[in-house]
Amino acid sequence: MTDRVNYDARQRRIRRRIRRGFGFTGVDDSIPRPISFQRRRLLASLDKPLVAVVVLLLAIGSLMVFSSTWDWSNKTYGSATGFFVEEHLRNVALAALALIFFATIDYRFWKRFALWLLVVTIVLLVAVRLFGEVRFGAQRSFTGGRFQPGELAEFATVLYMAAWLGSKNTRVDSFFFGLIPFLLVVGTLSGLIVSQPDLSSAAIVALTAGVMYFVAGANIMQMGAVSVLAGAVMAIVVESRPYAQQRIADFVAGFSDVTLSDYHTLQAITAFLRGGWIGVGIGHSEQKFGALPAPHTDSIFAIIGEELGVFGAALVVALYVAFAIRGFQIARRAKDSFGSLLCVGFTSWVIIQALLNIAVMTGAIPSTGVPLPLISFGGSSLMVVMIGVGLMLSVHRVATRRKSTAERRSEIASFDRSWRNRRTRISRAGGRPSAAAGQQ
């Protein structure tokens, strides 16, 4: 009798497995019910709002790179779509392939490489000081300026900080086990970048890491002390760099008389004044004909303001706002703290770069050499940003997979962090029952 019962049970299990294999399951053997597959096709599982924002920024960037370089390219290479547009489109295509590759692979796979990437980045930062090319008074790149280790350092900072701060045994609010290691990593990277010199990239590394450290549950008093220390270090660095002192002096002088601003800022303001509300039209900018330095990279937002006007510039700003909102929404829905901090880091990184570039072009801060992410002409800068977006899309894909109730409870329980109640500052849907429910 026992053998017969065991045989019948085995047969029922086999029938259930067959039905699941064809997409069906059931409460009993006679009532099959459809279920969704966990592995969805890539296009169906991508976060469409984020993809739409990125595609629009890339389209605007490609258009403005062509508009700002057609005359330069025609005179230099004999074609309006010569070197700049063709290389930019090639870079966009390669970056898109990288985005798809990283979006397809589970983002947790890359956590094991975070430390190694950090070590390689430090080695490259040292190597560029020894063997790098000197361009525009700085030694910060290889291969004709196409690869800058400082841009890789920004990416490596986000990946390593997410892996370290997202670990369960990390004591973020501890002075010796949280703050000191944080300062060592960020200080080493920033110091090597400053030595190139590249103050803007060093500031981006420090600000992005600071945002991630705060979100992970850092002590507020310690963060305040770090901010004061960072300000003092920056003052010392500026004091030792004559070009930085000159930029700040020109910036301060511009408050009393805009004509006393530095040349770059003055030409950018002129471009915005010429553009007005609706702009002079695509391709009709005059500031790109030698007045604005680097119109296809650092100054591209000024060209947007001149050719598309205030409305066009506002559209670009709105797209970055949408990118930030969607990035932080994906961070809230992430399966684990590593994915959440990864999205916070990459979102903050892109927005900080955009804010710095736009602030310089509008005369709000002294001049820096920060490109406009996803819009400016670039090789390594565009590649690392698109890889970051690919990892954010991977976080979304993993978070939207159907999970059992027990698996969801396990993930929620393991999301504790070091902020008083040992939780991050990012709330998560379904992460904590209400007080009323607890009293019941």
Q: Does residue 332 lie in a domain region?
A: yes
pLDDT at residue number 38: 38
Tokens of 63: 């258009």
Q: CA–CA separation, 181 vs 174, rounded Å?
A: 10
Torsion angle, CA of 412/414/418/423, rounded to 10 degrees? 0
Q: Does residue 8 lie in a domain region?
A: no
Q: Does residue 82 lie in a domain region?
A: yes
Q: CA–CA separation, 355 vs 353, rounded Å?
A: 5
pLDDT at residue number 370: 83
3-state SS, one letter per residue, for 329-396: HHHHCCCCHHHHHHHHHHHHHHHHHHHHHHHHHCCCCCCCCCCCCCCCCCCHHHHHHHHHHHHHHHHH
pLDDT at residue number 260: 64
Q: Does residue 383 lie in a domain region?
A: yes
- pLDDT bin (cut points 50, 70, 90) of residue 408 is low
What's the average model confidence in pLDDT over 109-116? 92
- Model's pTM, two decimal places? 0.79
Task: Specify the higher pLDDT residue, 439 or 195.
Answer: 195
Sign, CA torsion 131/135/136/141: negative
Tokens of 227: 């901010």
pLDDT at residue number 272: 87
Question: 24-26 and 32-34: which strand pairing?
Answer: antiparallel
Task: Specify the higher pLDDT residue, 83 or 270.
Answer: 270
Q: Does residue 37 lie in a domain region?
A: no
Cβ proximity of 166 and 216 under 8 Å: yes
Summarize pLDDT for 414-433 with one digit per residue, the tens: 444 444 444 555 555 444 44
Task: Specify the higher pLDDT residue, 321 or 202.
Answer: 321
Summarize pLDDT for 265-280 with one digit per residue, the tens: 788 888 888 888 888 8
**Percent of the residues in the chain that have a pLDDT greater than 90, as a whole number:** 27
Q: Does residue 40 lie in a domain region?
A: no
Q: Give the mean pLDDT of the chain.
A: 78
The domain containing residue 248 runs over which residues?
Answer: 47-400+412-424
> If residue 319 lies in a helix (H) or strand (E), which one and from where to where?
helix 300-332
Q: Does residue 367 lie in a domain region?
A: yes
pLDDT at residue number 68: 83
Q: What is the C-alpha end-to-end distance of the chain, expressed in Å?
A: 46
Q: Does residue 4 lie in a domain region?
A: no
Q: CA–CA separation, 389 vs 395, rounded Å?
A: 10
| pLDDT exceeds 50 at position 405 | no
Summarize pLDDT for 134-146 with one digit per residue, the tens: 766 666 777 666 6
Q: CA–CA separation, 201 vs 224, rounded Å?
A: 22
Which amino acid, 436?
A
pLDDT at residue number 26: 37
Count of structural domains within the chain: 1
Q: Is 19 exposed, middle or buried (0-12, 13-18, 19+ CB in 10 A)?
A: middle
What is residue 4's three-state secondary structure? helix
Contacts of residue 70, defined as CB under 8 A and 6 or more positions apart, other chains included, come to 80, 81, 85, 283
